[in-house]
Structures are given as C-alpha cells and as structure tokens.
C-alpha cells in the first residue's frame, strides 16, 4: 500500500537498518523497483525529482503509474512516493495534491531563517494531508538534475537541532560530504558530525548520494541514525550498461521491449543488492 515515510523510518531506526529511496526515471525503473521490493519483502521509497516528473509527464502521471503497478503487481509491502529535492512550497503542494505521500523541501541553499520558514510552511500543509516531510541542511556535492552544488558545506549541528524543533519535519538530510553522481575517489563522510547530529536531531537521518558508498560506510551511517539512503546513479548506470550490451550484441534490434527489458532486470538486480546491503529485506 501507499504510505508516508514516517512509520517506515521510525521502524528502520528502531531496528537498525535503512530504507532505500530509489529514483524513478520511467516505467521500467518503477517496475524494477516495485518488483525488487515485493520479492525482498522490503519497504521502499520511490524518489521522484522535479526533472524526472517533468520527463514522465507530471506528478499525476507518476502517481497513476505507481498506483496501477501496485494493483497489477499485487504489491503488499509499504511504498512511499516521495518528491526528491522539492524546490519550493508550490512544487511540494502540487506533488501532494497529485497524491504523493511524502515530499522533500530542499531550501538548503537559502539562508537558515528562510529554510526554516519555507520548510515550516511545507510541513503544515503536508501534515494536514498525512504526508511526511524531509528537509536538508548543508550542501550535497555533485549534480542531480536541477540541483547543482558549487561546493560541499557540512550541515551545522545546532542548526539541525533548531530546524527539527521549529518545523516538525519527519526526517533530516544533513549534508556531510556525500555527492550526487559517482564519487571522485573514496567518499569521505563526516561521521563525527553525523553522530553529533543524530544525538540532538530527534528524527531519522537521510543520506543522499548513495551511489558508490562502501558497505562499511553504509553500516556506520545506519549506526549513527541514518534510516533512509538515496540511490539513483547506480541504477542509471546498470540500466545504460544493459541497453549498450544488448544493442551491441544485436545491432539490428529495434523493439524497445528487447533492450528495455534487460535494463529493467539490471535495475531490479541492483535494487535487490542495495536492499540486502541496507538491511531492509524481509522487514516489510
């Protein structure tokens, strides 16, 4: 069933695992992620960036596609449809009105007081509809769609505490050195800060830029309160590789099902691997 992230993440925190947010790009991504979740008996968060929603048609198309698959696949595990890096109150509201069960308001690039104000407004609207809210502090490096970082700024511990207290958000993404897209070398996450933030935040933490983070760091993050890990690029790479290999082996192929089917299988295998790594398998 479609649910918000709130209960999912509380349970994950309490039981010491993380729920994956896997980003949608098209029908095949959605199929693959839902198939993986149902097979693994894992809760799952479907991440939808504004750019990806635009590509697929809009928020309503995304919601109806997901609802259709939940019925056709007889999905029994908890599923959240989550706006990833929502850029404004209006975008968050539009996603909620279309049926999203969760939103992220990313006002991390704004001055702190403005971030608090925008986030608070989103929480008021979202909570009145039973929708969960994630907010961000600091900057995640790299680039994802419209979200481009110029430098990596670590989230401030006191601001994290204050943001949660003043807005009532359900989970917090403190940027601590993670990067959207592939890492240049090994990631260097601020675990000392994560530990401190976890002790004062009082809500589950979110780790963005999940692609390319070694298992040891995933385990550490979970031990410091991380209950949600976002993965997009790794599935995109797996999907593109499958398409390239299929078309290289059969250059005359033109039926999209013949090359997008293997892409879907590759995404599914990648998602299953992440669910096992994050410990969410068999937790639905």
Residues at the interface with Zn ion (CB under 5 A): 208
Question: Does residue 84 have an active-site annotation?
Answer: yes
* Catalytic, out of 84, 97, 156, 195: 84
Residue 268, burial from CB neighbour count under 10 angstroms (0-12, 13-18, 19+): buried
Q: What share of the chain is helix, strand, coil (3-state, %, to 5)?
A: 50, 20, 30
By CB under 6 A, residue 230 contacts ligand G3H: yes
The 20-39 contact track toward ligand G3H, x by CB under 6 A, reads: ---x----------------
- From 16, 44, 15, select the one nearest 31 (Cα to Cα): 44
| Among 43, 177, 204, 210, interactor with ligand G3H by CB under 6 A | 210
Sign, CA torsion 129/23/175/203: positive
206 in Cβ contact with 241 (< 8 Å): no
Judged by beta carbon distances under 5 to 8 A according to partner kind, the member of ligand G3H, Zn ion, none in contact with residue 232 is: ligand G3H
Q: How far is the CB of 104 from ligand G3H (least distance, A)?
A: 8
Closest CB to Zn ion among residues 35, 139: 139
Residue 5, burial from CB neighbour count under 10 angstroms (0-12, 13-18, 19+): buried
Q: Please state, in angstroms and rounded to a whole number, the distance separating the CA atoms of residues 88 and 46.
A: 20
By CB under 6 A, residue 106 contacts ligand G3H: no
| Among 38, 40, 50, 84, interactor with ligand G3H by CB under 6 A | 84
Active site residues: 84
- Residues at the contact surface with ligand G3H, assessed by CB under 6 A: 23, 47, 84-85, 144, 180-181, 208-211, 230-234
């Amino acid at each position: 069933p479609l649910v918000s992230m709130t209960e999912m993440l509380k349970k994950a925190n309490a039981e010491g695992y993380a729920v994956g947010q896997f980003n949608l790009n098209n029908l095949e991504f959605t199929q693959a992620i839902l198939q993986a979740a149902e097979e693994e008996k894992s809760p799952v968060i479907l991440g939808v960036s504004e750019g990806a929603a635009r590509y697929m048609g809009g928020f309503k198309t995304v919601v109806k596609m997901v609802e259709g698959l939940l019925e056709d696949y007889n999905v029994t595990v908890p599923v959240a449809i989550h706006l990833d890096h929502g850029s404004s109150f209006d975008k968050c509201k539009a996603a909620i009105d279309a049926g999203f069960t969760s939103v992220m308001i990313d006002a991390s690039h704004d001055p702190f007081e403005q971030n608090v104000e925008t986030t608070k407004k989103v929480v008021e609207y979202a909570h009145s509809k039973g929708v969960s809210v994630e907010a961000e502090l600091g900057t995640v490096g790299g680039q994802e769609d419209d979200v481009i970082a110029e430098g990596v700024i670590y989230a401030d511990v006191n601001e994290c505490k204050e943001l949660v207290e003043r807005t009532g958000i359900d989970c917090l993404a403190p940027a601590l050195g993670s990067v959207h897209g592939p890492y240049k070398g090994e990631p260097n996450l601020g675990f000392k800060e994560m530990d401190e933030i976890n002790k004062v935040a009082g809500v589950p933490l979110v780790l963005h830029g999940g692609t390319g983070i070694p298992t040891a760091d995933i385990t550490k993050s979970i031990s410091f309160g991380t209950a949600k890990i976002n993965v997009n690029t790794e599935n995109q790479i797996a999907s593109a590789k499958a398409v390239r290999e299929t078309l290289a082996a059969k250059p005359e192929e033109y039926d999209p099902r013949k090359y997008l089917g293997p892409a879907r299988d590759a995404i599914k295998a990648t998602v299953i691997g992440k669910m096992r790594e994050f410990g969410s398998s068999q937790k639905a």
